[in-house]
Chains A and B, each alone.
Chain A
Amino acid sequence: MTRRLRSGQARAGLIIVALVVAGAVAAPWLLPWDAATQDLPHRLQGPTWQHWFGLDELGRDILARVLLGARVSLLVGIIVVGVSSVVGMAVGGVSGYYGGRLDQVIGRVMDVLMAFPGMLLAIALVAVLGPSLINVVLALAVIGWVGYARLVRGQVLRAREFEYVTAAKALGARTPRILLQHVLPTALPPLLVQATLGMAGAILSEAALSFLGLGVQPPTPSWGTMINGGRVHLLDAPHLTIFPGLFLAIVVLGFNFLGDGLRDAIDPRR
């Protein structure tokens, strides 16, 4: 029963993610309102039939801004996970396969990066580099690759002892070919799970940095910036805070559901 219910969770996760991606892509065609159009006389107006999520402090449609914010969140998630996983695979693969001194040096670098609570290092990096979307992506990728590298290193250490790898070596296959064709593919399933959960983490971290004023800068809509902006109007217009946060929580939950479901599918013992 658990498995059935859990696969239901994974399906729910997939549906949530698909809907948000569709909404983010189709945002400009879905709504008659532009995210930048201001209707100052009706600023802070609550939800109506015309504006489902209401208007913000400048009279802009919150639904349009939430959908555009989804673009920012998904984009950050995809780039951070993409860069982190590629770098992590390369570093972890080389470190695990060659071992020796190289592995030790890479291991120490990873130990130092792991010694920082992840978000703290991201905050520190963005604080000195300056608040911007690019710096957020950079900071999250700098802390992100370590998790992938550790995972891939572990998988590679196991896989390089497999007989088919020894056979490939005996047949004269060169190291890059062995790594890319025989060793790294064994790490792909757990990597996929980590990447899915990593999307949730990256989206949440971007929103947190933007909330602190260190990420996406206005007027570009970001869920974190919108939640922060809404705090001033918490008493008279709570919808400014509620809707972007709700979307953020739902999307993160969607990726977490999906990641958990994938993990169950890969490792049925859990």
Chain B
Amino acid sequence: MLRYFIRRVLLAVPVLLGVATLVFSLIHLVPGDPAQAMMGDGAAPQDVAELRKNLGLDQPLLSQYATFLRHAITGDLGTSFRTGQPVTTMILERVPATVELAVASMIVAILIAIPLGVIAAVRRGTAVDVAAMTFALAGVSIPNFWLGPLLAIVFSVELGWLPVSGRGTLANLVLPAISLGLALAAILARMTRASLLDELNELYVRAARARGVSRSASIATHALRNSMVPLLTIIALQFGAVLTGAVITETIFAWPGIGRLLIQSIGFRDYPMVQGCILLIAVTYVAVNLATDLMYGVLDPRIRFE
């Protein structure tokens, strides 16, 4: 078990290094001089040179790379070009809002997806199944940047039930969470159906039925429980999609999270902040995937011996 853990953690190291390298390269992909691009065409040459020096862009590339890695490991992601504040501090201030939105949207997704997937699997081949899966496919197809404004028109403007933007109360969270969670619900519903169908065909479920266990009990206590293992993995793996979706949802609902900070920073060409946000989201994604792998190793011992 310990060997499996160590092996998985070590395997994540080169990936993290690759992620950091890619994020470091971003500023060097800016066409022309990044410092000039940040300050605009009208900036004085000495100001541009000063910024170039502050960003370390006047150093040799390898030295810049080494400094970037050394600083990133210690949590120093540089200074925001726009505010002059440390990038790490500004990002950490936004973390709670993004986590709140991500968790809420995942709860919305699970609450919709599991009943929908179970009904579809249990009623396999009926119109109910097809309707549920068509709904699921529609959910994947509806862009959240369209759904969000439409939900706002109906529930905030027409009905006046919920606030249209901002953060603070539970009511503020409802529309962003639904808008972000629906696509995830659609994916999870399809997976729940597939996973449950696999289990329903297993001998132990039929054996339970043969022993006189009712159909609903055989589904709830036997099949569904086992189908949860692959589902947990998928829920965790979808975290990346939630983080990306949050970039758009936060922009629509003026939600003060990392996604909105990223888009605002792109607008201001605040490249250190852009790099910081991207690095944090990618590292979180790698960490969640690693945690999922480790959890899966605990839940299913077969994985550890592969």
Say which size band chain B's interface belongs to. 35 or more
B141 at the interface (CB under 8 A from A): yes
Chain A contact residues: over half helix, strand or loop, or mixed?
helix
Which of A2, A115, A245, A256 lies in contact with B130, CB distance below 8 A? A2
Closest-by-CB residue of B relative to A213 is B267
Is the beta-carbon distance between B125 and A1 smaller than 8 angstroms?
A: yes
B149 at the interface (CB under 8 A from A): yes
Shortest distance from the beta carbon of A213 to any chain B beta carbon, whole Å = 7
- List the B side residues contacting A227 at CB < 8 Å: 143, 145-146, 149
A238 at the interface (CB under 8 A from B): yes
Is the beta-carbon distance between A120 and B281 smaller than 8 angstroms?
A: yes
Is the beta-carbon distance between B129 and A208 smaller than 8 angstroms?
A: no
Is the beta-carbon distance between B149 and A111 smaller than 8 angstroms?
A: no
Is the beta-carbon distance between B27 and A241 smaller than 8 angstroms?
A: no
B30 at the interface (CB under 8 A from A): yes
User: Per-residue CB proximity of B233-244 to A under 8 Å, as 1/0?
Assistant: 000000011011
A242 at the interface (CB under 8 A from B): yes
Enumerate chain A interface residues (CB-CB to B < 8 A). Answer: 1-2, 5-6, 9, 108-109, 111-112, 115-121, 123-125, 127-130, 200, 204, 207-208, 211-214, 224, 227-228, 230-231, 234-235, 238, 241-242, 245, 248-250, 252-253, 256-257, 260, 270
- List the A side residues contacting B206 at CB < 8 Å: none
> How many A-B residue contacts, CB cutoff 8 Å?
142
Within 8 A of A (CB), among B121-165: 124-127, 129-130, 134, 137-138, 140-143, 145-146, 149-150, 152-153, 157
Is the beta-carbon distance between A245 and B150 smaller than 8 angstroms?
A: yes
B266 at the interface (CB under 8 A from A): yes
Which of B19, B26, B127, B244 lies in contact with A115, CB distance below 8 A? B19
Within 8 A of A (CB), among B250-281: 251-252, 262-263, 266-267, 271, 274, 278, 281
Is the beta-carbon distance between A120 and B153 smaller than 8 angstroms?
A: no
Q: How far is the CA of A62 from the CA of B286 in the complex (A)?
A: 43
Is the beta-carbon distance between A204 and B143 smaller than 8 angstroms?
A: yes
Task: With A120-B243, A123-B262 as known contacts, state yes or no: A208 contacts B143, CB within 8 Å.
Answer: yes
From A2, A9, A109, A117, residue with most partner B Cβ within 10 Å: A117
Closest-by-CB residue of B relative to A238 is B153
Q: How far is the CA of A249 from the CA of B150 in the complex (A)?
A: 13
Task: With A120-B247, A249-B146 as known contacts, state yes or no: A127 contacts B274, CB within 8 Å.
Answer: yes
Is the beta-carbon distance between A252 and B281 smaller than 8 angstroms?
A: no
Is the beta-carbon distance between A108 and B14 smaller than 8 angstroms?
A: yes
10 further A-B pairs in the complex, CB-CB below 8 A; given A128-B274, A248-B143:
A115-B15, A119-B244, A128-B27, A128-B30, A128-B271, A129-B30, A212-B247, A245-B150, A249-B142, A252-B142
